[in-house]
C-alpha cells in the first residue's frame, strides 16, 4: 500500500516523525459524522473510515461522554493487581451471543493497544497452549501470501507485505514461518477450474505444507476471513474455510483468524467468520472495536485454548502495561453499545448490498476495472491493464494511488493499495465508510470515485 494523500508545503520541518520525511500530511482541525475538516478549509468525505476504523463516524457525543466519565473515575490501573468494570463489561459485551446468534464458542478476551500487538499476543497464546498441552515441539506458524497481520517483528513475520519486510528479512524476522497461496480467486483460480476444484487445490496445498513441516510441529494457521489492505477486500471462495477448519482440527493445529480489519461488523455480520459457518480457536479484533475513538485491539480465545492453560500453569504468560486499559475499554464499550442499539451491523449488511449495486453499475463496464469484490461495507476495486488477461499496470504508473489522489482532490478519501497480486504488481482501492453513513453520502462516494477513476483512465493509452 502506498501512503495516503499528502502534500508538500513550506512549513518548518515537524518534530513529529511522520510516515514520510518528504511529504507533510494534511492537518485535520475537526471531524464530524462522515467528514474530516482540514486546516485548508476543505471538507473530505471519509469513504474509508481512515483504515476501515471509523465505524460510527466522527464526533459521537455519547462515546466522548463515556470516555470522560471513565477518566473522572479511574484512568489507569495495573492489571497484575487490579481490574475495572469497563474492561470486564467490554469483554462480556463482545463475547455475548444474542438470542438466535452465531454460537462462536469464544470464552475469554484480552485487550491491548493495536492490531499488531493483538496478533503477537495471539501467536504467543497459541504457542503456550501447545507447550502447556505437552507438545513443545510445535514451533511453526503457517500463514498465506498476500496477507497482512501487523508491523511488529512477530506479526510482520507472519505477514507477506513484501515492501515492509525488506530491511528485516535477513535474520531479523522469525524463521519458523511458512506461507501457502492466498484464497484469491480472481487472480489465482485457473480458467478451467470450478470453484470447488479451486478450493480443493488450496486445501491440498495447505495439507501438503503441513506434511512437509510435520503437522505435529505446527502451532497455528493464520488467515484473514476477508483479506484487507494487501489485496483489497478479497473473500475466500465458498467452502474454503470449512475445509481449513476440518484440516486444522485433524492435526490439532490452532486456527487463528485475523479480523482486525474485516471484523466488528464490517462485513455485515459481527464476526466475519460467521459467514463461513465455522468457529475458530483464536480471533484477533481491532480497528472497528474502538471505532477510532481509542487505540484498542483484542484477542478472543475459545474454551479449548483457555482449558489448555487451566490444565497447565493456570496463567497466561504475557502482560502489557496498558492491557485492558480502563479508558480505552470504556470508550470501545460505548462504541459497541451504539452499534448494537442502533442495529448498525444489520444496517451494514443491508446498505452494503446497495453499495455493491452502485459500484457494479458505475464501474462494471470500465476499461481498467478488473474486479469488484467485498462484503458489507468493505469493498475493493482492482484495476488491471487488460481485463481479458488480467495483466497489471506497470507499478511505476501508480494507477491505484493516482485514483486515490484524484479522489482526494475531489473531496473524497478512499484507501489506496498497490502490489495487490503478488507483493509487487497490482492496484486497488478500498471503500469502507462508517456503518451509519447516509444513503446520500454513499452515492456521493461512488460518484466522486468514478470521476477520479475516469480522470486517470483518460491518461492511459493502451
> How far apart are alpha carbons 155 and 157 in whole angstroms?
5
> How far apart are alpha carbons 33 and 26 in whole angstroms?
19
- Dihedral of alpha carbons 337, 341, 346, 350, sign: negative
The single-letter DSSP state of residue 417 is E
Below-50 pLDDT ranges, the chain: 1-3
What pLDDT is stored for residue 2 in this prediction?
40
What pLDDT is stored for residue 1 in this prediction?
38
Query: For all residues of the chain together, what is the average pLDDT?
Result: 96
Q: Are 184 and 234 in contact (CB under 8 A)?
A: yes
What pLDDT is stored for residue 13 in this prediction?
82
Distance between start and end Cα atoms, the chain? 24
Q: If we measure between CA atoms, which residue out of 277, 209, 205 comes closest to residue 241?
A: 277
**Strand ordering across the sheet containing 412-413:** 28-32, 35-38, 43-46, 412-413
Indicate the burial class of 410 (C-beta count within 10 angstroms; 0-12, 13-18, 19 or more).
Answer: middle
In the chain, where does the domain assigned CATH 3.40.640.10 lie?
74-341
What pLDDT is stored for residue 87 in this prediction?
98
The neighbouring-strand residues paired with 285 are 259, 298
What pLDDT is stored for residue 61 in this prediction?
98
Domain 6-59+344-457 belongs in CATH node 3.90.1150.10: yes
Give the CA radius of gyration of the chain. 22
What pLDDT is stored for residue 11 in this prediction?
65
Q: Are 115 and 321 in contact (CB under 8 A)?
A: no
Q: Please, what CATH class does the domain formed by 74-341 belong to?
A: alpha beta
What pLDDT is stored for residue 10 in this prediction?
60
Amino acid at each position: 500500500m502506498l501512503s495516503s494523500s499528502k502534500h508538500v508545503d513550506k512549513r518548518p520541518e515537524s518534530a513529529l516523525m511522520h510516515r514520510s520525511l518528504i511529504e507533510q500530511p494534511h492537518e485535520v482541525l475537526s471531524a464530524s459524522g462522515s467528514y474530516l475538516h482540514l486546516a485548508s478549509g476543505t471538507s473530505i468525505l471519509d469513504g474509508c473510515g481512515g483504515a476501515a476504523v471509523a465505524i460510527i463516524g466522527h464526533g459521537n457525543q455519547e462515546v466522548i461522554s463515556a470516555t470522560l466519565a471513565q477518566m473522572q473515575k479511574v484512568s489507569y490501573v495495573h492489571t497484575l493487581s487490579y481490574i475495572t468494570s469497563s474492561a470486564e463489561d467490554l469483554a462480556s459485551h463482545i463475547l455475548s451471543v444474542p438470542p438466535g446468534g452465531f454460537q462462536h464458542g469464544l470464552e475469554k478476551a484480552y485487550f491491548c493497544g493495536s492490531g499488531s500487538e493483538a496478533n503477537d499476543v495471539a501467536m504467543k497464546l497459541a504457542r503456550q497452549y501447545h507447550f502447556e498441552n505437552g507438545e513443545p515441539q510445535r514451533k511453526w506458524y503457517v500463514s498465506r501470501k498476500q496477507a497482512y497481520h501487523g508491523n511488529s517483528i512477530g506479526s510482520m513475520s507472519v505477514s507477506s507485505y513484501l515492501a515492509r519486510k525488506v530491511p528485516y528479512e535477513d535474520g531479523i524476522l522469525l524463521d519458523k514461518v511458512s506461507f501457502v497461496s492466498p484464497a484469491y480467486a480472481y487472480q489465482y483460480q485457473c480458467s478451467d477450474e470450478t470453484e470447488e476444484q479451486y478450493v480443493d487445490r488450496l486445501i491440498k496445498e495447505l495439507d501438503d505444507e503441513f506434511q512437509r513441516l510435520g503437522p505435529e510441529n505446527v502451532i497455528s494457521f493464520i488467515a484473514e476471513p476477508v483479506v484487507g489492505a494487501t489485496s483489497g477486500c478479497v473473500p475466500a471462495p465458498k467452502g474454503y474455510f470449512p475445509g481449513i477448519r476440518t484440516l486444522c482440527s485433524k492435526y490439532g493445529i490452532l486456527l487463528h483468524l485475523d479480523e482486525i480489519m474485516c471484523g466488528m461488523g464490517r462485513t455485515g455480520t459481527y464476526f466475519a467468520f460467521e459467514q463461513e459457518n465455522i468457529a475458530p480457536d483464536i480471533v484477533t479484533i481491532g480497528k472497528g472495536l474502538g471505532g477510532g475513538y481509542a487505540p484498542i485491539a483484542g484477542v478472543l480465545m475459545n474454551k479449548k485454548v483457555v482449558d489448555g492453560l487451566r490444565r497447565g500453569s493456570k496463567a497466561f504468560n504475557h502482560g502489557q502495561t496498558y492491557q485492558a486499559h480502563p479508558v480505552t475499554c470504556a470508550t470501545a464499550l460505548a462504541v459497541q453499545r451504539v452499534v448494537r442499539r442502533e442495529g448498525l451491523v444489520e444496517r451494514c449488511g443491508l446498505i452494503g448490498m446497495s453499495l455493491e449495486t452502485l459500484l457494479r453499475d458505475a464501474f462494471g463496464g470500465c476499461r481498467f476495472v478488473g474486479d469488484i469484490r467485498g462484503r458489507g461495507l468493505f469493498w475493493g476495486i482492482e484495476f488491471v491493464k487488460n481485463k481479458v488477461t488480467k495483466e497489471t499496470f506497470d507499478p511505476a504508473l501508480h494507477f491505484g494511488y493516482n485514483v486515490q489522489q484524484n479522489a482526494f482532490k475531489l473531496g473524497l478519501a478512499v484507501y489506496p493499495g498497490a502490489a495487490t497480486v503478488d507483493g509487487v504488481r497490482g492496484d486497488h482501492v478500498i471503500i469502507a465508510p462508517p456503518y451509519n453513513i447516509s444513503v446520500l453520502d454513499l452515492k456521493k462516494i461512488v460518484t466522486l470515485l468514478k470521476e477520479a477513476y475516469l480522470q486517470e483512465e483518460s491518461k492511459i493509452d493502451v
